[in-house]
Structure 1
Amino acid sequence: MTTPSAEQAPLYADLAGDLNVSFEFFPPKSEKMEAQLWSAIETLTPLAPKFVSVTYGAGGSTRERTHNTVARIARETPLAAAAHLTCVAASKAEIDEVADAYWDAGVRHIVALRGDPPEAGTAFAPHPQGYRGAAELVEGLLKRHPFEISVAAYPETHPDAASPQSDIDNLKRKLDAGATRAITQFFFTPDAYFRFRDTVAAAGISADIVPGIMPVSNFAAVQRMSAMCNTTVPSWMGRLFDGLDDHPAARQLVSATLAAELCRNLYMGGVRDFHFYTLNRAELSYAICHLLGLRPQVRAAEPEKTA
């Protein structure tokens, strides 16, 4: 039996931190949740994310809270703030109004999405005077202002897509319409991303496909979300979280380990951009970024003002 060398480096020891990260938040519903959100933003800001985004509720249900959160990030932090915007339950004129308000607030990045219907389980239906999907939304936004635009991609195919090929075709339409990048729905195996990246490249898509990473803080909740968005949950994941319902600290450690290992494999496969679904909690995303070699950036001291 051979023993490992005492000098053998741990798996993460040589990761250089040569990567970009972005973080996604959702608008808070209460004062307590607002405090949690801003604590997370404060913790993650030193990692100098490329941008941070704020989600938009089904049917535009969080429109005002999303705008207020994004505008405050743009106003009070050094971060580039991106606002999610959907086609659901809004006319083109109403979406123009929202886009103008973001532009006036200094927001220059939109995550353009078709969006989910207001009632779960119902089919998406375009507003009679609205956009029929994200590709049209991208076109409309760019006619209004020169936004940077991100769109969604589905490594395991959008639940509403007629076929995997039609889903890829739709992604190409969104990028051809002027979007800068695509951010994927969350997934749990490196192969899911790498297969999708190869398929996208074969379709002639050259834009960045940024993997969306969901650290699992609540396995039952992730199972429900995965079923809704067509994400495969490996059986081994269930076994690893089994018995941890009453052990939140242990669950956090398992979650960070799994997500960090997924990111390490993606990194070894050439990925240098990661988008984290934080669920307004900083610890897991911060730990994963640290393992990938990312360190807080020291901001230069501002010069003293003279009288």
Structure 2
Amino acid sequence: MSTQEHPLGISFEFFPPNTDAGRDKLMGVRDALAERRPRFFSVTYGAGGSTQDRTLHTVQAVRQSGITTAPHMSCIGSEKARLRDLLTRYREAGIDRLVALRGDLPSGMGGIGELRYANELVEFIRAETGDHFEIAVAAYPESHPQAPSFEKDLENFARKMKAGADFAVTQYFFSADAYFHFVERARALGVEAPIVPGIMPITNYTKLARFSDACGAEIPRWIRKQLEAYGDDSEAIADFGEEVVSRLCQRLLDGGAPGLHFYTLNQAKPTLRVLDNIGC
């Protein structure tokens, strides 16, 4: 297997499985996607550390493919001592890339921790570890759902980048215009680093609607209506989703996007079908 990166910045996100069967399945997904020579894999976290150990274990398993693997790291609900310990563990494990996020406060936790925002986490990582880690942060082309305005969200994004982030990965979206507008506005604020669009393959309308309502990603009305019309026809939904997402990816790349980051939901086939369609 070649470990040379794809010329585009292709990358894939996984979540830590919580069963042996899920872990076995993920290793097969990892191997299938590793054939596309991604720039990196990433692994999500549990806020406040609820699954941080599972994140590290999953990162270590995924890294056996020979592909750089980046754990997500959140700051809300955590103290600096705990974050410092986690950074030490990651360094000792040979990890040199992180996705730095604010995260959500877990239910039942009273305090938000010593760091409130992602820019503070980026600054903390840089202060503790210098340039050891390549750091990615999140971007929201359609605005963070908790942001008071699009302008404020842009300012917060620029603050994260200027705190020491190397690149950004966006929340998923289905409007290429939203991405291009966000990038244009970010550049006007002095952000020069790559902003990689996040891509969500469409395979299940119910799950997609639930995810989108929770994270503020807009599903255009025409896509919602078509998905609703297919009802329980999972094959028709997958075919339509493949067409919509493939067209989106092609337009993004044609417009100068530096790569694509796929939210795989620990599945290989939907992402591979899109990559085949766009010649990646």
TM-score (normalised: structure 1): 0.85
Q: Which residue of 2 aligns with 1:252?
A: 238
Choose the corresponding residue for 1:86, options 67, 70, 74: 74
Q: Which residue of 2 aligns with 1:132?
A: 116
Paired AA for residue 140 in structure 1: F
Choose the corresponding residue for 1:119, options 107, 119, 125: 107
Is residue 2:40 matched to residue 1:51? yes
Paired AA for residue 134 in structure 2: E
If you compute each CA radius of gyration, which structure gives the higher value, 1 or 2?
Answer: 1
Q: Which residue of 2 aligns with 1:210?
A: 196
Q: What's the offset of the Cα at 1:215?
A: 0.7
Q: Is the 8 A contact 1:60 1:88 kept in 2?
A: no
Distance 2:119 2:237 in 1: 39
Q: Which residue of 2 aligns with 1:33?
A: 22
Q: What's the offset of the Cα at 1:125?
A: 5.6
Distance 2:7 2:45 in 1: 31
Q: What's the offset of the Cα at 1:228?
A: 1.8
Paired AA for residue 30 in structure 2: I
Q: What's the offset of the Cα at 1:175?
A: 0.9
Paired AA for residue 142 in structure 1: R
Structure that is richer in helix per residue: 2
Q: What's the offset of the Cα at 1:58?
A: 3.1
Q: Which residue of 2 aligns with 1:97?
A: 85
Change (3 A) 1:41 1:205: same
Q: Is the 8 A contact 2:195 2:257 kept in 1?
A: no
Is residue 2:58 matched to residue 1:69? yes
Distance 2:86 2:231 in 1: 41
- 1:233-248 to structure 2, matched below 5 A, reads 233-248=219-234
Q: Which residue of 2 aligns with 1:297?
A: none
Identity %: 40
Query: With CA pairs under 8 Å and 6+ residues apart, which has the higher RCO, 1 or 2?
Result: 1
Could you list the per-position Cα deviations for residues 236-278 of structure 1 after superposition, in whole angstroms to 9, with x for gaps in the alignment?
1112212434322222222211111110111121123100000
Alignment coverage as a number of residue pairs: 273
Q: Is the 8 A contact 2:172 2:198 kept in 1?
A: yes
Q: Is the 8 A contact 2:42 2:69 kept in 1?
A: yes
Q: Which residue of 1 aligns with 2:179?
A: 193
Q: Which residue of 2 aligns with 1:170?
A: 156
Paired AA for residue 55 in structure 1: T
Could you list the per-position Cα deviations for residues 72-117 of structure 1 after superposition, in whole angstroms to 9, with x for gaps in the alignment?
223x221001010001221000011111111111110010000012
Q: Which residue of 2 aligns with 1:3?
A: none
Distance 1:173 1:88 in 2: 17
Q: Is the 8 A contact 1:40 1:281 kept in 2?
A: yes
- Structure 2 gaps, min length 5: 1-5
Distance 1:265 1:125 in 2: 43
- Structure 1 gaps, min length 5: 1-16, 295-307
Distance 1:125 1:235 in 2: 39
